[in-house]
């Protein structure tokens, strides 16, 4: 079989034996990834009359915001997601797909047998130092901070009136917060999260520490915040209503790239373009258009598409030709417990390095559940290796320089659009991911 696109925008394949034309699946966009970015693009594209096929290698839609209802509890399968934004347009946009509750993210930090409120605020400082006023808290932080900076200046022979420049994350945190806050609430958690000592992490990871000298446990400063009642999956389901979606489909296998190669579906595209059977005399000149993108789904369905929206790893798309970018991954241990309330809070961070997991999520508290049992998830941060699910990029200087090389390749693409945290190698909160998708929609559609 060979493939052509006729000007009336229907796609046909030519059976060389019977010389008959048979309709097949044709799309304007192949959207790779059924998460928030890909679903938003597909939803807006459909509104503008474009056709999309959305594929995802997982067996479900919604990407990392996927929630699964288990005995009435909406479980955040890939970690806690709290939607928050200060942009009213984004808040109004997402609220058209679900009704949000008034959940406020107020995590707890457990350090051995001590419990602290996060983010760092007057409740934290009062518990740590048995103080009551903002003035006392500021004085204590400044005392410890100044003591550490003076010690480091003396050690390095830096004049007392010269500025101290931290060389790593530990020095940065100690120079901003002092020893107590660093040792109890930053050091162990950060080292577990990044898989290396704070002395080996760059200082810029902590540009500033969000100290609040009020008794306010709200983790976010954004105007709007909440959890969709009924979970996040429904949002993506509504976005993708009426759009062709195929889960369990690996993009690289679909386009004939079991092993990623630097460019898209080169083999199939060339086979189509170079086929001798598609002679010009078979069709009038103004009706013959060769489509450069073709693929085959796992059930044998053949597809053609004009453009690709790719939300997977940009380095994988280009066959890691400049080397792999670094990511962090997360492993989850989820279990249902025969108790109605395990920890009294949705999110509890475990900041001691001796505790192997970074935090425990108790899912029912996101929606104020009253079920007789509860479901918890322990999160373990780990290094990413090929074959493991990447969760967020490691945006240090080395990786940012490497990403710029891939970004340069992407800028030369006419028919491939990259998006999302993996495609753009950028950590996104959900509102920023949604905003970035809408910006692509505005440029592209």
Spatial separation of the C-alpha atoms in residues 188 and 330, rounded to whole Å: 17
Q: For 21-62, where are the alpha helices, taking DSSP H only?
A: 36-47
319 and 244 within one domain: yes
Q: Which of 93, 326, 427, 444 is catalytic?
A: 427
Domain enclosing residue 201, as ranges? 135-205
Measured CA to CA in angstroms, residue 167 lies from 126, 129, 143, 200 at distances of 31, 28, 21, 9
Residue 280: which CATH number? 3.50.50.60
Q: Which of 379, 392, 428, 433 is catalytic?
A: 379
Asked whether residue 83 is assigned to any structural domain, the reply reads no
pTM, entire model: 0.87
Spatial separation of the C-alpha atoms in residues 261 and 250, rounded to whole Å: 14
**Annotated catalytic, 378?**
no
407 and 313 within one domain: yes
396 and 318 within one domain: yes
**Annotated catalytic, 425?**
no
Average pLDDT over residues 240-255: 97
Q: Does 288 score more than 60 pLDDT?
A: no
Of 182 and 4, which is predicted with more confidence? 182
311 and 169 within one domain: no
Q: Does 61 score more than 90 pLDDT?
A: yes
- Which residues are CB-contacts of 3 (< 8 A; sequence separation ≥ 6)? 11, 12, 13, 14, 24, 272, 291, 294, 302, 304
Average pLDDT over residues 262-276: 37
**Annotated catalytic, 299?**
no
Under the banding of pLDDT at 50, 70 and 90, the label for residue 387 is: confident
Spatial separation of the C-alpha atoms in residues 97 and 204, rounded to whole Å: 37
Q: Does 5 score more than 60 pLDDT?
A: no
153 and 250 within one domain: no
Q: Does 263 score more than 80 pLDDT?
A: no
Q: Does 280 score more than 60 pLDDT?
A: no
Q: Which of 18, 99, 208, 397 is catalytic?
A: 208
Q: Which of 336, 413, 429, 444 is catalytic?
A: 429
- Whether 6 and 26 have beta carbons less than 8 Å apart is answered as no
Asked whether residue 143 is assigned to any structural domain, the reply reads yes
Q: Which of 58, 145, 212, 421 is catalytic?
A: 212
Spatial separation of the C-alpha atoms in residues 282 and 264, rounded to whole Å: 28
The four Cα atoms 136, 138, 144, 150 give a dihedral, to 10 degrees, of -130
Asked whether residue 353 is assigned to any structural domain, the reply reads no
Q: What is the pLDDT of residues 127-166, one digit of tens each?
A: 999 999 999 999 999 999 999 999 999 999 999 999 999 9
**Annotated catalytic, 335?**
no
270 and 199 within one domain: no
Element holding 293 (H helix, E strand): none
Q: Does 226 score more than 70 pLDDT?
A: yes
pLDDT value at position 386? 86
**Phi, psi at 74, each rounded to 5°:** -85, 105
Average pLDDT over residues 32-45: 98
Asked whether residue 15 is assigned to any structural domain, the reply reads yes
> Cα 82 to the chain's mean position, in Å?
13
pLDDT value at position 206? 86
Q: Which of 145, 257, 359, 421 is catalytic?
A: 359
198 and 142 within one domain: yes
**Annotated catalytic, 132?**
no
Asked whether residue 289 is assigned to any structural domain, the reply reads yes
Q: Taken in order 194, 198, 203, 209, is the CA torsion positive or negative?
A: positive
Asked whether residue 37 is assigned to any structural domain, the reply reads yes
Q: Does 35 score more than 70 pLDDT?
A: yes
Asked whether residue 73 is assigned to any structural domain, the reply reads no
What rounded mean pLDDT belongs to the chain?
89
Q: What's the total number of domains in the chain?
A: 2
pLDDT value at position 22? 42
Q: Which of 179, 246, 328, 378 is catalytic?
A: 328
pLDDT value at position 258? 62
Q: Does 208 score more than 50 pLDDT?
A: yes
415 and 302 within one domain: yes
pLDDT value at position 278? 38
Asked whether residue 298 is assigned to any structural domain, the reply reads yes
Beta-carbon count within 10 A of 18 CB: 8
């Amino acid at each position: 079989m060979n493939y052509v696109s006729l000007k009336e925008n229907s796609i046909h394949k030519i059976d060389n034996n019977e010389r008959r034309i048979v309709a097949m699946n044709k799309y304007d966009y192949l959207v790779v990834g059924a998460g928030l970015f890909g679903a938003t693009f597909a939803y807006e594209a459909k509104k503008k009359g474009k056709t999309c096929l959305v594929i995802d290698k997982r067996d479900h839609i919604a990407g990392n915001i996927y929630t699964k209802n288990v005995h009435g509890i909406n479980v955040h399968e890939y970690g806690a997601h709290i939607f928050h934004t200060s942009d009213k347009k984004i808040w109004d946009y997402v609220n058209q797909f679900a009704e949000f509750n008034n959940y406020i993210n107020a995590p707890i930090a457990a350090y051995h047998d001590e419990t602290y409120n996060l983010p760092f605020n007057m409740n934290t400082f009062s518990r740590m130092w048995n103080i009551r006023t903002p003035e006392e808290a500021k004085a204590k932080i400044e005392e410890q901070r100044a003591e550490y900076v003076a010690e480091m200046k003396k050690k390095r022979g830096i004049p007392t009136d010269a500025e101290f420049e931290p060389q790593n994350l530990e020095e940065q945190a100690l120079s901003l917060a002092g020893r107590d806050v660093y040792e109890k609430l930053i050091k162990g958690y950060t080292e577990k999260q990044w898989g290396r000592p704070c002395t080996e992490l760059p200082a810029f990871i902590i540009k500033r520490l969000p100290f609040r000298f009020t008794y306010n446990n709200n983790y976010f400063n954004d105007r709007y915040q909440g959890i969709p009642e009924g979970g996040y999956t429904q949002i993506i389901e509504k976005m993708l209503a009426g759009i062709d979606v195929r889960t369990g489909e690996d993009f690289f296998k679909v386009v004939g790239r079991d092993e990623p190669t630097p460019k898209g579906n080169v083999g199939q595209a060339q086979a189509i373009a170079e086929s001798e059977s598609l002679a010009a005399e078979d069709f009038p000149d103004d009706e013959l258009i060769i489509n450069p993108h073709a693929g085959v789904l796992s059930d044998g369905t053949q597809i053609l598409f004009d453009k690709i929206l790719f939300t997977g790893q940009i380095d994988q798309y280009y066959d890691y030709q400049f080397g792999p970018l670094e990511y962090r991954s997360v492993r989850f241990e989820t279990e249902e417990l025969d108790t109605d309330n395990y920890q009294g809070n949705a999110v509890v961070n475990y900041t001691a390095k001796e505790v192997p997991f970074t935090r425990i999520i108790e899912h029912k508290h996101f929606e104020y559940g009253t079920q007789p049992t509860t479901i918890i998830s322990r999160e373990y941060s780990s290094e990413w290796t090929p074959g493991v699910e990447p969760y967020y990029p490691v945006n240090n200087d080395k990786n940012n320089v490497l990403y710029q090389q891939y970004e340069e390749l992407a800028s030369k693409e006419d028919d491939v659009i990259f998006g999302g945290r993996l495609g753009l190698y950028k950590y996104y909160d959900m509102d920023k991911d949604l905003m970035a998708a809408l910006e692509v929609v505005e440029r592209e559609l």
